[in-house]
Amino acid sequence: MSEMLNVENIFAEKVFTNAKMKERLPKKVYQEVMNIMEHGGELSMATADAVAMAMKDWAVENGATHYSHWFQPLTGITAEKHDSFITHPDTQGKMLMEFSGKELIKGESDASSFPSGGLRATFEARGYTAWDITSPAFLKDSACGTILCIPTAFCSYTGEALDKKTPLLRSMEAISEQALRIVRLFGNTEAKKVTPSVGAEQEYFLVDKDLYMQRKDLMFAGRTLFGALPPKGQEMEDHYFGVIKERVGAYMKDLNEELWKLGVTAKTQHNEAAPAQHELAPIYETANIAVDHNQLVMEAMKRVAYKHDFRCLLHEKPYAGVNGSGKHDNWSITTDNGVNLLDPGDTPNRNIQFLLILACIMKAVDTHADLLRQSASDVGNDLRLGANEAPPAIISIFLGEQLEDVVTQLIETGDATKIKKGKRLHTGVSTLPDFVKDATDRNRTSPFAFTGNKFEFRMVGSADSVASPNTTLNAIVAEAFCEAADRLEQAEDLDMAIHDLIKEYMTEHQRIIFNGDGYSDEWVAEAERRGLPNLHTMIDAASTLTTDKAVALFEKFGIFTRVELESREEIIYETYAKTINIEALTMIDMASKDIIPAVASYTGELANTVIAVKEAGAMGFAQMELLNEVDTLLAEARNALTVLEKETATAAAIKDAKEQAFYYKDVVKEAMDALRTPVDKLEMLVDSTIWPMPTYGELMFEV
């Protein structure tokens, strides 16, 4: 019998929680820290020293030897550099472990090896990390030992953000300030802060380690670049919520335990639609902590997979033709006196504050649909958005029947007097109670769905950080709140002004509401008629960052400067080009070293068979036909390989980042597809003992 796990005892065991801080710090010092955590400001050096000492003592007691400023550069993952607590020994040769307040709050790091999109050319290469006091420090165990990780923001010498956390923190301040203006209009004088909360549902695939090691594409690109569909896929719908396999269950158990120790509230786990695809959802929390924790979830998923002889694939589309992985970003905003501003209450038409906020969100999402789409883009997600199991690349809002009805009434009459009652949903099973149908019935095809008291942004990719989507959401909603407050604060008749503004915003932006099937072709055509943007790829969306509209938005709230936005656009092109280049080179390697030689020797075998069969006096029609078919496809693959080699070399030589990225998209990706097609056909013809790598069927079902 395995040892009993006491979850309450282990939860946050590796986190320097407020409770631990309180225990170890003088009361006054602790209060200063809490105060800054709540309301911002700078720690005094004396306080920083005291916190650093307490943190170090706790870390060392728990086996830590090093500390690290843990940050999130624009690579989308996290970075860390370890420094030990070791200090210079005294004359007696005795050494004391130390950690100062200065080391806690600020670190210096060479920024020149991280993506900076030109910022590094114009500014010094030095980069600084600064402690995000609102996100707790934690201990990370690895073969390096135990490291005290301090969540930090990463900036250049002159203060330009070089990471994903800095703008997120700035956007959280912006939405707090503007949302407070809205709640003040409704007489809320108590609230001092409004905080966005995020719950990020994480999808992932598991694959057996030994099979993974035989696939260069999985190793280098994180996804398969070749592969024919298996006879069985997800069509039986037997995987979603199905019984979890023993080996996967053991993995999930370990994963949960690791996450709980790190203070991550892993809550829900289940099988997803595709074979070997799974999901983990935590309980929502403050946006920046949720972003940090999602990084920890992704890291832990990969690390724990090693222990179980799995590899974890976070790529958005590991297998073509099979359900991809996303990350549903659940978002709401709550006042510090406990009011969720997205909670409509029992009768939405009475809750004017909710309707005003909803009107502002409609305006924000419609005005900046392009930016929102951009915020959910990464290279892998291009293979998912617009493909038939994922939300399209078009942004729209789903409100549900009841709320849409209220909006329609408001637009038509300026008033919402009726409310569609929650209908009874009869289960037809006597042992189950009849449910009251959720006022916001499910629409799984909407990229931005209202789900009762939050919005669920479903476009985000599984491998991506959720920092950008939430930065953008906070920013665009802050802008709409600000414009509404500017008007309403001046109004003589506030009730009337609110009424008019709701009607005006909802009327002007009703095109963004869509309750139908977002996966249908009709919607793509309809969205075009409505003038909604449909940005197909990550690089098509990149320039939305530097439009006048975007610069005005982000500069107004101090979230990004124009220069920062330009650098981020540049990095998108660079990242895209690098990623496709790796994929193309991997395909070239696999095709020329493994696939083509295997098929060539197979044609030799077939030819011998044909000769032998004929010598034996038979006609050998079938063998001959197979030989011809394989030979033709082999020639096709050879030609396609030559084209891909040439185009990849051409692309790699292009100097301008944007031009280069588009060449990879328009030319190199085409050449990749042209190589894949004959190879996947060959996989279906060639003797399976000769095929040089595991098939989709093996990768997905041998888990």
- Which listed residue (66, 165, 454, 658) binds ligand ADP by CB under 6 A? 454
Whose CB is nearest to Mg ion?
328
- Which listed residue (328, 454, 509, 658) binds Mg ion by CB under 5 A? 328
Question: Which residue number, 200 or 668, has a Cβ lying nearer to ligand ADP?
Answer: 200
Say if residue 419 is exposed, middle or buried (CB neighbours under 10 Å; 0-12, 13-18, 19+): middle
Say what angle helices 287-307 and 246-261 make with each other, to 10 degrees.
140
How many CB atoms are located within 10 Å of the residue 195 CB? 18
| Residue among 559, 382, 391 at smallest CA distance from 470 | 559
- Which listed residue (283, 425, 436, 690) binds ligand ADP by CB under 6 A? 283
282 binds ligand ADP (CB under 6 A): yes
Partner from ligand ADP, Mg ion, none binding residue 281, C-beta < 5-8 Å depending on class: ligand ADP
Element housing 362 (H / E) = helix 352-367
Question: How far is CA 623 from each of CA 155, 312, 611, 615, rounded to the nearest angstrom?
Answer: 66, 41, 10, 13
- Which listed residue (195, 197, 465, 546) binds ligand ADP by CB under 6 A? 197
- Residues 324-363 contacting ligand ADP, CB under 6 A: 330-332, 340
> Minimum Å distance from CB 270 to ligand ADP?
9
284 binds ligand ADP (CB under 6 A): yes
Partner from ligand ADP, Mg ion, none binding residue 282, C-beta < 5-8 Å depending on class: ligand ADP
Question: Which residue number, 265 or 510, has a Cβ lying nearer to ligand ADP?
Answer: 265
> Minimum Å distance from CB 240 to ligand ADP?
12
Distance CA 132, CA 232 (A): 48
Choices 117-125, 177-185, 326-334, 361-369; region in contact with Mg ion by CB under 5 A = 326-334
| Residue among 134, 173, 153 at smallest CA distance from 475 | 173
Torsion-angle region of 558 (φ positive above 0: left; ψ -120 to 50: alpha; else: beta)? left
- Which listed residue (76, 117, 199, 391) binds ligand ADP by CB under 6 A? 199
φ and ψ at residue 450, rounded to 5 degrees: -80, 125
Question: Which residue number, 340 or 642, has a Cβ lying nearer to ligand ADP?
Answer: 340
293 binds ligand ADP (CB under 6 A): no
Residues binding ligand ADP: what is the number (CB under 6 A)?
15
281 binds ligand ADP (CB under 6 A): yes
Could you tell me the two tokens for 117? 């999109």
> Minimum Å distance from CB 330 to ligand ADP?
3
Distance CA 360, CA 367 (A): 10
> What secondary structure does DSSP assign to 20-53, as a single string?
HHHHHS-HHHHHHHHHHHHH-----HHHHHHHHH
Answer yes or no: are the C-beta atoms of 407 and 349 closer than 8 Å: no
How many CB atoms are located within 10 Å of the residue 607 CB? 14
Question: Which residue number, 330 or 546, has a Cβ lying nearer to ligand ADP?
Answer: 330
Question: How far is CA 49 from each of CA 68, 71, 479, rounded to the nearest angstrom?
Answer: 16, 21, 39
> Minimum Å distance from CB 453 to ligand ADP?
5
> Minimum Å distance from CB 342 to ligand ADP?
7
308 binds Mg ion (CB under 5 A): no
Whose CB is nearest to ligand ADP?
199
Question: Which residue number, 107 or 469, has a Cβ lying nearer to Mg ion?
Answer: 469
Partner from ligand ADP, Mg ion, none binding residue 7, C-beta < 5-8 Å depending on class: none
| Residue among 537, 381, 540 at smallest CA distance from 466 | 381
The binding site for Mg ion (CB under 5 A) comprises 328
